[in-house]
Structures are given as structure tokens and as C-alpha cells.
Structure 1
């Protein structure tokens, strides 16, 4: 007996409703990366304050026949560091003046030996030149370590980690350019042209300068953070070429001035003394003006190249020093220093320092405090870092 389909349908339990599947939540938008924090260093000192320090340093240095110059250097560095602020905190310098004095005495001994060594004998002269060439790269490295390892910021010490071998590779070639001609002239006095051969290496001087600057910038330390430097030494050729062309123009102008004086002398329109003095005076003025053009230009362009390619983990440096503005500033400083018989010098130093800082930016990718915390993870002992380099030779860079 068959069962009707509608009876079966009535008796069967109702079908379960399909489960409700909640709609997938849309992913939250990723948080935007924080914008880098940019800080510009600030100098809080003044020319009037530094003038008082400069005068006292000068008088005491003269009164002590130069011995106080080591303490004067430390006072100068402390004044500028302690008045240089970055993100509201100041730098500080803690160098020992006695270490600076020892370094300067050694530098004076080497200079005297370099000047008079060949007056004793050929063998003594060659030995002294060899010693100077072997000692200078080590001393230059020590000067960098002394200056930086005695500088601190927010309780963290700066430092320099370049090796001795790399120092010799960086500094020996330029030293050879200046020292080898003296040695060759002493060894072969009958062939003076041979002594000029090392000066052909001046064609590679921009490359030598670039390699030396590479050594300096690549091994900077802040806390336990090591610097990075990404700039080819060949990039130094362009500023040198432009500065060289300007100096070449000055040489031509000096030659024209000399020819003008000779012409006046031949025509006897002026006295012999006046005709001789005039081209010399014009030549000196033109040479000094050329220096004021080429020197600041080189400092601005090479400084911008070097510092804008130097960075630390999460920290970038930008230098935008304008060459034209820097040349005008240095020209003004030179004129006022001459007119005041040197008394404007401390004001000029402050003006240059403030101008440099105004065109320097430090960029922190993750924020200033995060960068400080990262640098503080492995605090170095500055006393131990600088103890092996007790010589503090004053080499400004």
C-alpha cells in the first residue's frame, strides 16, 4: 500500500535554516608612517661673549709664550659646543688641556725637524722625513679620535672608529705630494726638475681629498651607532675644477697687471719704484680676491657633498650651505678684520659658525627620542675610547 507523497511531506520535520555567516570585516587601513622630524641646530652665543674669551686667550697665550694655547683651545671648543643646541639640548667638550699641550709640543718638534733636518746631514734629513711620513697618519687619526671622543650630547659620547691601516691609505698619498720634493731635492740636487715630479700627483688631489674625507665621514660614532657615507671620491673633481678655473683667471689678471707695470716702466711715465710696486699691489689684491672666491666656494660645495651623504641608522644629515652667501660672508669678515686690525676676528668666527648651523638639518625617521634611545643601547666609555690617543693636535675640519 503506497503512502501519498503529501503525507510523507507533512510528517517530515522541517528543513533547518542555513546558518548565517557574518560578513568578513574590512581590514583597517594601515596607519600612516610618522613624518620624519627635522631639527636645525641653533647657536645661542654671541660675538660679544666670544670676544671676551678670545681676548683673554690671546693675552694669556702671548704671556706664556704659547703654552696657554692648549687651554685656549679647550675653552674655545667648550664655548662653541655648549652654545650649540640640537632639539633643545647642548653639546659639550671635555678634553684635557694637558693632552692638547703634549700634542702641540710634538707637532712643534716635528715642524722644526722638518725645517732643519737636512742642515745636519743627508742621512738625518731622510730619516726625519721618513719618520714624519710614518707618524703623521697616526697622529691625524689620533686628532680625530681625541676631538670626537671628548664630545658628548645628551650624555652620549661621539667617537671615531677608523682603523690605523685605513688612516695610512687615506693620508699617505697627500703627505707624499708635499714631503717627497724636499727629499728628492736633497738626494739629487743636480736634478731640480726631479723634485717637481711629485707635484704631478696634484692632478689626483681631488681624489686624494675625497678618499681622506671618506675615511673621516665613514667612521663617525654616536653612542653605539656607526655612520654611513655614500659618496664617490670622484665627485670632488667638479668643485675643484670650478675653483681652479677661477684661480686660473686670477693668474691671467695678475699677468696682465704685471705687463701693464712693465709697459709703464718702459714709457717712463711713472718712476721705477711706482711702476714696480703697482703691478705687485694689483697682483696681491687680485690673488686675495680670488682666494676669497675659491676658498669659501670649495668649503661650501665639499661640505655640502660630504655631510649630505653622511647618515646614521634612522638619522640623515642635510647641508645646504649656499656658496654665494658664504663667499659674501667671508668677504665681509675679511674686510672688517683688516679694517679693525684683527679685532673683528672673534665676531667673524661666530658669524661663520652660526651661518653654517643655519643651513644644516638633522632628520629623524622615527622621531628624535627613538633615535636617542637606539644610540644609548650600547653606551661607550669615552675615557677608555680616548685614553689611547692622548695627543690632541688642533686640526680643524
Structure 2
């Protein structure tokens, strides 16, 4: 209630204007990325994979610089030498495991245990490397997660699936994403996600139900196709119909299988980012299932029909839709937020510039 008896303070600062929601923008094009992609591919082949580290830096720098928030693009500062070192270490570990399998089954088991023991460390270092080398408006991100938690989330909790026959998967994934988000920083600002275990179970359950319904519809269509073929009287026509029907059935089956993982990842994006925040600032993700499925299916068909040459265009299409479906809802001025986040961060992440990147992705 307004107190009309109280004199107005003429020198009081005006309330800050609310900043409208800021959608992310993506300026990359398939034709531009195709030129980067084909050069990266050819040089990686010629150098027997050595150039792949520089190829990753070129690709990330292009995609980061093409992604814009509130008029400012992101930056990628990854060192290709550090990436190459990480790949060499990972190749040595995998190569040792493959060699052990040919020498002795017991040695193969030992090497498998060693690989399982070092993978959480790889993931932990990779997260630190990726965020430390990512920046926006000159301020770097960083990952403050502890190595102990990496072993809990990436090694110990996944063992629950052995005794639960896979039923612990939503719980394991929720804890992993919570660890990844809650330990991420932008300068001094902290990321967080409120997505609960129950919401992950609902999502995975709905996705499983969708898969079951799709499988039933697919089976019914296959049965009708076979029944229609059997109704013909000409044996030659029957064999031709069965062959064509079998090819169509297999093609649709593989198309369905290849679409499931990208669709689930997109739905998880909605779940995680709709419950995410950066200090007082909120996020929203508006990925639509139908639109996402259309992009996935047409991308797969395009890659198959062009023998892989459509792949860079498919990647740009997918990234554009997922990135431009994401928005930030600022609480106050973003300029004030950036100034606050940049305070006293010069020493943040000190000593991680030589971290190795092991190309793990969460």
C-alpha cells in the first residue's frame, strides 16, 4: 500500500528495467562448416589422425563463435597440443587392453579393471578442460567437481544397474547431471539444476512407453505387409513383395533405432535446462518432440543418401535447433551480472591450462 503522507525521495535511484528473456542465436551454416569439415577430415587422414586435435579446435572455435547470447559470442581457447596428449594417453590405454586380450584372458581382465579405474579420472579432467577453455564476454567457465565424486558418479553408481537390472538408470543419470551442473561455474557465478530423480524416472518411463508403442505399431505394419503379400496368387509377385517388404521393414527398424538416442538427449535437455539456474538467472528449453524427431529422421536419410557428405549439414541443423530452443531469463541487468561474475577470477582455474582433453562428453 502506498503511503501518501510520506514525502517522495527525489534522489532515490530509479528501479532497474527488467531485462527481457535472451534467446541463444546460432549463426553457423552448413556450407561454411562443410568446408571446415572436409579439410579437417582430409588432413586427419593424411596425418594418420594427428591433425584431429587441431581439427577439434577449429570445429569448436567455429561453433562457439557462431553461438551468441545477448549480443556476445562464446569463445573457445582449447590447446591442440593438450588435446593430442590426451588422445595419445587414451589410445595407449585402449591399445594395451586390446593387446592384452590377444595375449591372455586373465591379462585382459586386469586391463579391463585398469580401464574402469581410470575412465572417471579421464571424464573429470575432460570436464575441467572443456569448461576452462570456454568463455563468454571474456569470462571463463570452470568445473570445481572433485575427483572423488567422479568415481562415485562414473564408476560406483553405475554398478547399481547390475543388481537392479537397469532400473537404476534414471537415478544414475540424474545424479551425474546434477554433479555436472552444480559444480560448474561462470566466473564467480554458480550453475545449479533442480531436476529431481522422480522427473528423470517419469521421462525415461515415458520414453520407454513411446518405444513400446512404436514397436507395436511397427510390428502390426509388418504383419499387414506380409499378409498383403501372401494374398497374391502369383508366386513371383509374392516373392518380390516379400523381399521389398522385408527391405522396407529393416530400413524402418534401423531408422527407429537410430532416432531414439538423439531424441532422448533432446528431451533430457528440456528437463535439465528448465530446472537450471546461474545464480539468480533462470533458463528455459523449448525443444519440441515432433520437430526434433523430424530433424533426426531427415538428417539420417540425408546422410545415407549422400554417402555421408550431408553429415556437416546435419550437425548444423541439429545444433541450430537445440541451441536456439534455449533461452536465459535474466533477473536484473546482465551487465551488472557479468561485472559481478568477473570479480576476482583471474586466479580461478590456475594450473589447469596444461590439462589434457580426453574427448569424453556428458
In structure 2, the CA distance between the partners of 1:117 and 1:148, relative to structure 1 (3 Å rule), is same
Contact preservation (8 Å) 1:133, 1:175: no
Tell me, what secondary structure is at the counterpart of 2:352?
Answer: helix
CA distance in 2, matches of 1:385, 1:258: 62
Q: TM-score if structure 2 supplies the norm length?
A: 0.85
Q: Contact 2:44–2:52 (CA<8 Å) still a contact in 1?
A: yes
SS in 1 for 2:327: strand
Task: Point out where structure 1 has 5 or more consecutive residues left out of the alignment.
Answer: 1-23, 178-196
Alignment partner, residue 129 of structure 1: 112
Q: Does 1:339 align with 2:305?
A: yes
1:176 offset after TM fit, Å?
4.3
CA RMSD of aligned residues (A): 3.1
Matches within 5 A, 1:31-110: 34-110=17-93
* Compared CA separation, residues 278 and 61, structure 1 to 2 (3 A): same
Does the aligned pair in 2 maintain the 1:231–1:309 contact within 8 Å?
yes
Query: Rg larger in 1 or in 2?
Result: 1
Offset, 1:323: 1.6
Give the 5 Å matches for 1:144-183.
144-173=127-156, 176=159
Find out whether 1:223 has 2:206 as its counterpart.
no
Confirm whether residue 392 of structure 1 aligns to residue 352 of structure 2. no
Matched, 1:354 2:354: no
| Alpha-carbon distance change, 174 to 383 in structure 1, aligned in 2, over 3 angstroms | closer
Matched, 1:208 2:172: yes
Superposition deviation, residue 198 in structure 1: 2.8
Q: Distance in 1 between matches of 2:252 and 2:197?
A: 31
* 3-state DSSP of counterpart to 1:135: helix
Task: Report which structure shows greater RCO (CA 8 Å, sep ≥6).
Answer: 2
CA distance change for structure 1 residues 277 and 103 in 2, over 3 Å: closer, same or farther? farther
**Which blocks of at least 5 consecutive residues in structure 2 are unaligned?**
none
- CA gap of 1:261–1:112, structure 2 versus 1, over 3 A, is farther
Cα distance, 1:224 vs structure 2: 1.5
Question: TM-score w.r.t. structure 1 length?
Answer: 0.78
Evaluate the alpha carbon distance shift between residue 277 and residue 109 of structure 1 in structure 2; reply closer, same or farther with a 3 A threshold. Answer: farther
Shift of 1:231: 1.8
Residues 30-72 of structure 1: CA deviation (Å, up to 9, x unaligned): 9666424321121222111111101100111111121211111
Contact 1:250 1:286 in 2 (8 A): no
Give the length in aligned residue pairs: 352
